[in-house]
A and B are shown apart, each in its own frame.
Chain A
Amino acid sequence: MNIEEAPQHKRDFKDGNTSPQKVLYVTNADGSYTQTNSDGWEVENIALQQAWEEIDLQLEEEKQHIKNGISSPIAYYMIKNRMDIGILAAYVGKWQWQVKRHMKPAIFNSLSPSLLKKYAAIFNITVDELKSIN
């Protein structure tokens, strides 16, 4: 990639933050390599956008599941924190099947206060917030 080809496509993410600039290795006219700054590339922006849209989509789905009594808020907050079951189980210090059980409303309602506190701390929220999803 030549230095003139370095893309300058600013990210358009919801937080409006477009820093930092990306360092790219590009060639000068004589073929020698140099570092240059790039605002971003539409290709990367599309892929990032897609990953975040997927999270929003999954959050909407989980909201419905909670309403319909299929999921507990743990499923919702896991996605909100960009975790999967493996990562969440590692934080809680439980097996994955145990965490999966906690995502069932009936089991969730019977969880001990100390375990609820643990989940809330992992999600960086209060226990009250954990019990609701707003």
Chain B
Amino acid sequence: MIIPFEHKSQAHCESGVTSNLLKHYGLPISEPMAFGIGSGLFFGHLPFVKINGVPGTTYRIYPGQIFKNVCKRLHIKSNTQRFSTVEKGMQQLNENIQQNIPTGCQVSVFYLPFLPEVFRFHFNAHNLVIYGEENKMYYVSDPVMDNKCTIAYDDLAKARFAKGMPEPKGRMYYIKEVPHNLDLDTAIKKGIKQTCMFMKSPPVPWFGVNAIRFLSKQILQYPQKLEPRKATLYLGNIIRMQEEIGTGGAGFRFLYAAFLQEAASQTGNTNLAELSQVMTSIGDQWRNFAYNTARICKARSSDVVSYSELSAQLNRIYEAEKKFYTQLANVY
């Protein structure tokens, strides 16, 4: 059984899957729109959550939130399930396909043979759509791939039930019913408000704009606290989270700028168009930061001056983003 499903390659997995699923049901929601309404933008730096010995940095919200928020804010009926066993999880996926329901799955990239090896780490928050099954071979629309792919039962089962944070536990999600009319304006407003709140309000240093300042202070200490090999590894991970495939560039900042632009023409609010331009320049700042960071990584440098320059550069991004979310919050 193969469901006719249109694959479109997108920048980011979860907003891409959400957009592609909605289009399947006739709702023309672009990827930036799904990302913005779903409040996908974020920043977090968690020095105590180490992945392969390196502190975690994120530029996006927790997995699953984008799809959930978009459905809630556009009054789309959806269902999300997790499973206690592999058999139940695969059985339910098969039943969905039999019922013509393309289904989103949270997976680990480590077990996806169609991805180049270079990307295959234990990153468990990837998303793709399963739209068919024949003789234990599953048909996949993965937004970061140029074309549709296939995956064997065993690989898909491993990917869906991978261990380690965030554990997918076979999480799958799909759309049950879509409304006749979409109130995009209200959904845009809700999405923006939540992003502003998440970026501005957290009273702890590890989340929101404060985390950008926090990371900039951490970087300052790297040359003293860490041996050069470790310090450059820490830096390298920041770049990977920011620029690796699936971010749309500059840690999702360009994706968000694209959303604001589309939101401006949808709502007729010119403030949003201006703020889109501000976000674009913030994205460019992040790109410059990544560029300078990579130079240090390549030189394997532990030169204190270059680390303090990097830290200062990141602090300027903090200032810019802080101002940005205050302005954005004032639009509504």
Residues on A lying within 8 angstroms of B by beta carbon are: 1, 11, 13, 15, 17-27, 31-33, 35, 41-44, 46-48, 50-52, 54, 82-84, 86-87, 90-91
Contact = CB atoms under 8 A, between A and B. Distances in A.
If over half of B's interface residues share one DSSP class (helix, strand or loop), that class is named, otherwise mixed; here it is helix
B117 interface: yes
A26 B287 CA distance: 13
B128 interface: no
Interface in B266-296: 276-277, 280, 283-284, 287, 290-291, 293-294
B261 A23 contact: no
A23 B294 CA distance: 21
9 contacts: A1-B249, A23-B248, A31-B277, A33-B32, A43-B290, A48-B119, A51-B121, A82-B121, A90-B163
B196 interface: no
A93 to B, nearest CB: 9
Contacts of B50: 84
If over half of A's interface residues share one DSSP class (helix, strand or loop), that class is named, otherwise mixed; here it is mixed
Nearest to B300: A50
Contacts of B244: 44, 47-48
B10 interface: yes
A91 to B, nearest CB: 5
A15 B118 contact: yes
Interface of B: 9-11, 32, 50-53, 110, 116-122, 144-146, 163-165, 167, 229, 232-233, 236-237, 239-240, 243-245, 248-250, 254-255, 257-258, 261-262, 276-277, 280, 283-284, 287, 290-291, 293-294, 297-298
Contact of A21 (B146, B164, B233): B146
B254 A24 contact: yes
B294 A46 contact: yes
B254 A42 contact: no
A86 to B, nearest CB: 7
Given A1-B284, A13-B117, A84-B50, 10 more contacts: A1-B250, A11-B118, A13-B118, A18-B116, A19-B116, A25-B255, A41-B243, A46-B239, A47-B244, A83-B164
A128 B78 CA distance: 48
A20 B229 CA distance: 30
A23 B117 contact: no
A90 B169 CA distance: 13
Contacts of A44: 239-240, 243-244
B116 A25 contact: no
B213 to A, nearest CB: 23
Nearest to A46: B294
A24 B255 CA distance: 8
B287 A90 contact: no
Given A20-B144, A50-B232, A43 B239 contact: yes
Contacts of A91: 163
A41 B288 CA distance: 12
